[in-house]
Structure 1
C-alpha cells in the first residue's frame, strides 16, 4: 500500500518529541469515562481483567484496546480512544495485560511484546460470549506490536475483525531496545525498569525457586530485565532471541486485515528499522503513516482527543461491513 501523507500538526510547544511524550504520559487527563470490570479466564487458566465502556445505545461493534509496557486500562492513551469510540456508537474493551490490573497474575510468566494468545482469547470472548459482529483492534507501543504479530501469524483471523490500528510501534524490538538504552531515553528507561523490577520482587515471594534476589539485584537496565526475566520466563534463549522472535516486522507481509500503523518520525523510542516502509509498500492491507511530530504516543491536538485517536476512528469506520 502506498505510504500515507500525514496531516498532523501539533501546537508549537508539542513539536518537541520529548515534551509531547512526557505530557501525554504524565499530565494528560481523560474525564467522564465509566468503566466496568470483567475478569475472564485464559486458555492456560490464568486471568485477564477487562475494563468495558459502552456506547449510548446497544452496539454490534467493539474496539479492543491494548496498552503499552507497564501500562493499564486507565491510562489516558487508552481511555481517550475508548471515550471517542463510545461517542461514535462503538463499545470499547480496555485490556489489562497479565499483572497490570492491580493484582499479580497466577503464574511466574506474565506478558511480553510477542504474547498473542491473550489477545486471541479476548477476541474469542467478544465473539462467542458478547456477540459482537464487528471488531476493531487498537494497540499502543508494545500493544501495537502484539496487534501486528497476532494479525500476521499463522492463524485463522476471525471474519469479525474488520480493521486494526497500531500506534508508536517498536516493530523491530532489537532496534527499539538499542534506542531505549541511549542517553536521550535514560529517564524513560529507568522508569520502565524500576516498575518491572518492583513487580518481579512481588513474584519472588510466590516463586522463590524461579529466581533469586541476587539475580533481581543484577538488573541494571531494561535489557538486563529481559535477559533475567522476560526471556527465561517465556521460553526464549536470551534477550536477543526474544527480541528477534517477538518482533512484528517479520509478520507484516502476512497481514490480510486493513491495518494502519502510525509512527512519528521524532519518536525517540524507535530505530530506523521501526518504520516498515518496504513492508507497507508490498502489502495492500498495511497502511503506514509517519507524521513528522508526535513523539511516543504524543499526537496532541486541541479539542481533547488526540490525532491518533481520531485517525483510528476514521480508519476503523471505513471497514464496517
Structure 2
C-alpha cells in the first residue's frame, strides 16, 4: 500500500514540475501546456483507478481466503466427531486468487479442470418399463471392500471432469467405483420416460444392482447437484433400510423454489439458466419422436424453451404427474427431508452458490439429526471449489471426499459402534416421547372423569 502511495505522489509531483520547466525554457505555448497537463491528469486518474481496484480486489481475496469453513452438526454426534478429525475442514477452503467470485469460479472450473482418463467398463441395465441405464465401472477387482457410486448433475455423465476426479480418488484409495448415467445419456432413450429431481426409481435400481453384485461391500454414494437431490430423496425414503452406508452430497439445492428464484435473476439467467435450459431442449429434441404421439406435450415449444422453469412446466411436470411447477419444486426440496436421513451424510455447500442460496440451508434440521452434517464454505461457487494458482486438478470437493473415504476405510469399526449408539439413543428418545404422550393422555382422561 505504501509503494502505491509513493507512485501516486511521484506522478503528481512530475505533473506539476513538467509544465513549469516547459514555460521557463520557452519551448511550449500555453495551450499546448494545458493539453499536456490534461493528458497527464488522465493517465494519473487511470493509474489511480487501476491501483485502487487491485488493492480492493486483494483485500476482498484476503477476506475470502481467511473466511472460516463452518461445521453444522449436532454437538457430540457421530458426524461432528468425524468432521473434527478432517484436515480439510480445519484448514478450510482456500480459493484460487484470480477466479474466486462465484460466477467466475463456476465457469472457469467447467472449462479449465482437466478430465482424467478412466478405463470404464460399461454395463447396461434394463428397467421394468424397458428403459436403459448405462453404468460405468472402474477398478472392479479393487482390494478394498467399499464401492463408490457417483450420481452426476443435471446433464452430467461419467466423462465429465468433476466425475472423473471423484472416481480417481476412489481408485487411489483402493476402491471400486461406478457412475450412473441417466436415461438417454451415454445410451439411447428407448421409452418415453426420462428423469427428474424427484424420481428415484432408477437410482434405487442401480443401488440394488450394485449391492447384489457385491453383497459384502459397503456402498459410499456421492451425489452432485441434481444427483445430490436424488440421493437425498432416496436416503429419506429408505430411512433405516437404505443399502447405502455412507453419503456425500455436493452443491445440491436445499430448496428448489429459492434456487429457481436465484437462477432467474438477470445475471444468473444469462450465464447459467439459459445455457442449461438449451442443453435440456437439445436432449429433448434428440428423442422428440418418442413423445410426439402424446397429446400432453407441445414438442415444438419444448424444443425452444429458454428457461429451466419453462422446461419443467412444459415437459417435466406433465411427464411425472405434477399439477404445477410449484408442486414439483416443493416435492424436490431437500430441506423437508433432512430429518428422515438415517445414513451418515455430509453436505458440502458454498454460501455464494447461485444454484443453492445460503438462505435455504436447513441449519437447525441438520443439527437435530445426528446422521447429517454440513460443511459450509463462504465461497466456492457451484460444484467448482477451485483451489491453487491454476485449478486444473484436485479441488476442495476431492480433498474432503478423500478424507471421508479414508476415514470410512480405516475407522469402520468405530463408525459402526457410533452408528449403533446413535440408533439406540434415537430409540430411547422415541420410547420416552411415546411414554410421555401416553402419560399425558391418561392424565387428561383422569381429569375429564
Tell me if both proteins adopt one fold, taking TM over 0.5 as the criterion: yes
Count of matched residue positions in the alignment of Structure 1 and Structure 2: 319
> Post-superposition shift, 1:309?
1.6
Higher gyration radius (CA): 2
Instruction: Summarize the Cα distance change of 1:83–1:55 in structure 2 as closer, same or farther, 3 Å threshold.
Output: farther
Instruction: Summarize the Cα distance change of 1:171–1:129 in structure 2 as closer, same or farther, 3 Å threshold.
Output: same
Contact 2:351 2:376 in 1 (8 A): yes
Structure 1's unaligned 5+ residue stretches are: none
1:31 paired to 2:120 = no
Residue 234 of structure 1: aligned partner: 320
1:315 paired to 2:401 = no
Looking at structure 2, the residues matched to 264 and 15 of structure 1 have their Cα atoms a distance apart, in angstroms, of 12
SS in 1 for 2:190: coil
Greater CA drift, 257-266 or 40-49 = 40-49
Contact 1:48 1:98 in 2 (8 A): yes
Looking at structure 1, the residues matched to 286 and 339 of structure 2 have their Cα atoms a distance apart, in angstroms, of 39
Looking at structure 2, the residues matched to 18 and 55 of structure 1 have their Cα atoms a distance apart, in angstroms, of 37
Looking at structure 1, the residues matched to 204 and 216 of structure 2 have their Cα atoms a distance apart, in angstroms, of 14
Map 1:251-290 onto structure 2 (within 5 A): 251-290=337-376
Looking at structure 2, the residues matched to 68 and 124 of structure 1 have their Cα atoms a distance apart, in angstroms, of 21
Contact 2:139 2:176 in 1 (8 A): yes
Looking at structure 2, the residues matched to 144 and 46 of structure 1 have their Cα atoms a distance apart, in angstroms, of 22
Looking at structure 1, the residues matched to 189 and 359 of structure 2 have their Cα atoms a distance apart, in angstroms, of 33
Q: Structure with the greater relative contact order (CA < 8 A, sep ≥ 6): 1 or 2?
A: 1
Deviation track 1:268-287 (CA, whole Å, cap 9, x = no partner) reads 22223432211111111111
Map 1:41-56 onto structure 2 (within 5 A): 41-54=126-139
Greater helix percent: which structure? Answer: 2
| Alignment counterpart, residue 224 of structure 1, candidates 310, 313, 318 | 310
Contact 1:16 1:293 in 2 (8 A): yes
Map 1:161-172 onto structure 2 (within 5 A): 161-172=244-255
Instruction: Summarize the Cα distance change of 1:55–1:42 in structure 2 as closer, same or farther, 3 Å threshold.
Output: closer
Residue 394 of structure 2: aligned partner: 305
Map 1:202-217 onto structure 2 (within 5 A): 202-210=286-294, 211-216=297-302
Structure 2's unaligned 5+ residue stretches are: 1-72, 75-79, 84-88, 413-449
> Post-superposition shift, 1:56?
7.2
Greater CA drift, 134-143 or 311-320 = 311-320
Residue 12 of structure 1: aligned partner: 97
Looking at structure 1, the residues matched to 193 and 229 of structure 2 have their Cα atoms a distance apart, in angstroms, of 19
> Post-superposition shift, 1:216?
2.3
Residue 117 of structure 1: aligned partner: 201
Deviation track 1:162-198 (CA, whole Å, cap 9, x = no partner) reads 2100011102111111111111212211111111111
Looking at structure 2, the residues matched to 99 and 138 of structure 1 have their Cα atoms a distance apart, in angstroms, of 21
Instruction: Summarize the Cα distance change of 1:55–1:83 in structure 2 as closer, same or farther, 3 Å threshold.
Output: farther
Looking at structure 2, the residues matched to 317 and 285 of structure 1 have their Cα atoms a distance apart, in angstroms, of 18
> Post-superposition shift, 1:218?
6.2
> Post-superposition shift, 1:31?
2.4
Looking at structure 1, the residues matched to 386 and 333 of structure 2 have their Cα atoms a distance apart, in angstroms, of 27
SS in 2 for 1:136: strand
SS in 1 for 2:287: helix
1:192 paired to 2:276 = yes
Looking at structure 2, the residues matched to 240 and 69 of structure 1 have their Cα atoms a distance apart, in angstroms, of 19
Looking at structure 2, the residues matched to 191 and 137 of structure 1 have their Cα atoms a distance apart, in angstroms, of 28
Residue 418 of structure 2: aligned partner: none
1:86 paired to 2:175 = no
Looking at structure 2, the residues matched to 276 and 313 of structure 1 have their Cα atoms a distance apart, in angstroms, of 25
Residue 184 of structure 2: aligned partner: 99
Looking at structure 1, the residues matched to 385 and 303 of structure 2 have their Cα atoms a distance apart, in angstroms, of 37
When normalised by structure 2's length, the TM-score is 0.67
